[in-house]
Structure 1
Amino acid sequence: MRLLETVAGHARGAPAKQLARETGLALPTAYHLLRTLVYEGYLRREKGLFFLGDATERLSSSGAQQKRRSAMADTLAQWRDLIGVPMYYAMYQDGDIEIVCVSDSPETPAVEEWADFRETGHAHAIGQCLLSQLDEEARRDHLARYPAQAITPYTVRDNNALLRRLARMRRMEPVVERQEYALGTVCAAVPITAGTTVATVAMSLPIRQADRLLPAAHRLQAEIGRSLSALTLSISI
């Protein structure tokens, strides 16, 4: 890592002897590490000088991605404690529903994923919220791959019925689902739109606390509104 940092400080490249001297490494050790870093793509060598390689860009991108993911997890934990419900962050990426982060606690446990969230988007608030943000063609494409089917007595039973429901949903309003994915559970999802990103933050509650769902969803919506500028930096995970 010291070698990488030192090379990064030389935009025009640096020879092995200079890098060894600046890092305090013995020259044979420096040569060995430099050869390894070149082989792995983290450095490249041109005319006896060492430069950063393509792999360092991937390393940097991965680190930035992890930082954004951590920031989102921290934000969800704050909202979980503030509102007293488990929180979920999900995105629609490459034609699929992806649950990116879940924040729960022993007092507020998350819903057990007993049926694949990706394949049952028609049945839960997360999926319905994400699908509602897509255009008609993208919705039909998704449902052609993951058709609607009843997984509880309350689930929408076919694609056309779901498409009609999605068409009636008001833009930026919370999406509510009651026992459509899991019996005994109600859920709400708040849409998040930033550029072309399709995302949502959702919550769940046991059916006995169903009266809390809409007030909690509106409070979450207000919190998202207050945090949107900072949140926008975290949602492209």
Structure 2
Amino acid sequence: MAPEPAGGVQSLRRAFDLLERLADAGGEASLSELAATTGLPLPTIHRLIRTLVALGYVRQNSNRRYTLGSRLIRLGETASRQFGRWARPLLAELVDRVGETVNLAVLDGDEVVYVAQAPSRHSVRMFTEVGRRVLPHGTGVGKAMLAQLPRDEARALLERTGLPASTPNTITDAAELLASLDLVVEQGYALDEGEQEVGVRCVAVPLRDAPALAAVSVSGPDSRLTKEAVTRMLPDVLRIAERLSTEATRA
């Protein structure tokens, strides 16, 4: 668990961390599994979980394991609609132009969160679940957002998260990744060359004037999303990123 921020409410932060850990575990975990992932004592976890169960945000199954509760559905759907209200029409417009799946992501703490998507119409296409959290170093959107941070902040984030490899193509050396961010700034976009999933290429552009760090990406099989195709579609991605940035300030 990350250090407690100044002025934070520890029990509240721990409760939300338990919800995040349940989500990371696929929505279900035992108390001992939660203790292993959070580092919290079992009595503390049990007290917090009982409160979350009473509120309906966590449910205990007959096998005594715990799952995310139904009250979270309304919160998630409301948050999704809030992002989708202004983002989805522009994401759909970009899909019409480039023919591949388009995602919008934000940097939440040390993680990338996918907040909206417009899928490709191809039968073989990329799909990233809205709400999915990943580390930024192995994704196009993550690198696009890291490039917008001061280098000492980006370095500190990478020290906290590490650079685990999702594929053999993932950059796992912090110095190499930090050096690559200068190129992202220079060219205005980031690439994921099979670093999150083998056989998938992604091009991502940051939303430069948005209230929070965010990026839009186009991803697809590298057999279709060739480097030449990326070059052709880049003006459309840049244009939509600029419009998304404008809309984000109004949302």
8 Å CA contact 2:191, 2:204 repeated in 1: yes
1:143, 1:163 → 2: CA distance?
Answer: 9
Q: What is aligned with 1:88?
A: 103
Which structure 1 residue ranges, 5 or more long, are not aligned?
1-61
Matched, 1:218 2:215: no
1:227, 1:199 → 2: CA distance?
Answer: 10
Closer, same or farther: CA 95–184 of 1 in aligned 2, 3 Å: closer
Shift of 1:68: 4.5
1:152, 1:119 → 2: CA distance?
Answer: 14
1:65, 1:125 → 2: CA distance?
Answer: 22
Shift of 1:87: 0.5
AA matched with 2:153: A
Matched, 1:186 2:216: no
Closer, same or farther: CA 65–183 of 1 in aligned 2, 3 Å: closer
Closer, same or farther: CA 132–139 of 1 in aligned 2, 3 Å: same
8 Å CA contact 1:174, 1:218 repeated in 2: no
Q: What is aligned with 1:41?
A: none
Stretches of 4+ moved more than 6 A in 1? 62-65
Q: 1:106-135: CA deviations, max 9, x gaps?
A: 416653559x96443211111111111111
Q: 1:191-216: CA deviations, max 9, x gaps?
A: 11225421111011211121312221
AA matched with 2:193: R
AA matched with 2:229: R
Closer, same or farther: CA 224–157 of 1 in aligned 2, 3 Å: closer
- Aligned-pair identity (%): 22
AA matched with 1:89: L
How many residues of Structure 1 are paired with residues of Structure 2 in the alignment? 173
Shift of 1:172: 6.7
Q: What is aligned with 1:232?
A: 249
Shift of 1:168: 3.5
1:83, 1:205 → 2: CA distance?
Answer: 10
AA matched with 1:220: V
Closer, same or farther: CA 201–153 of 1 in aligned 2, 3 Å: same
**2:171 aligns to what SS in structure 1?**
coil
1:64, 1:101 → 2: CA distance?
Answer: 10
For the pair shown, the structure with the greater C-alpha radius of gyration is 1
Shift of 1:231: 4.7
Shift of 1:94: 3.1
AA matched with 1:165: S
8 Å CA contact 2:107, 2:145 repeated in 1: yes
**2:185 aligns to what SS in structure 1?**
coil
Two-structure CA RMSD over aligned residues (Å): 3.0
8 Å CA contact 2:215, 2:241 repeated in 1: no
AA matched with 2:237: L
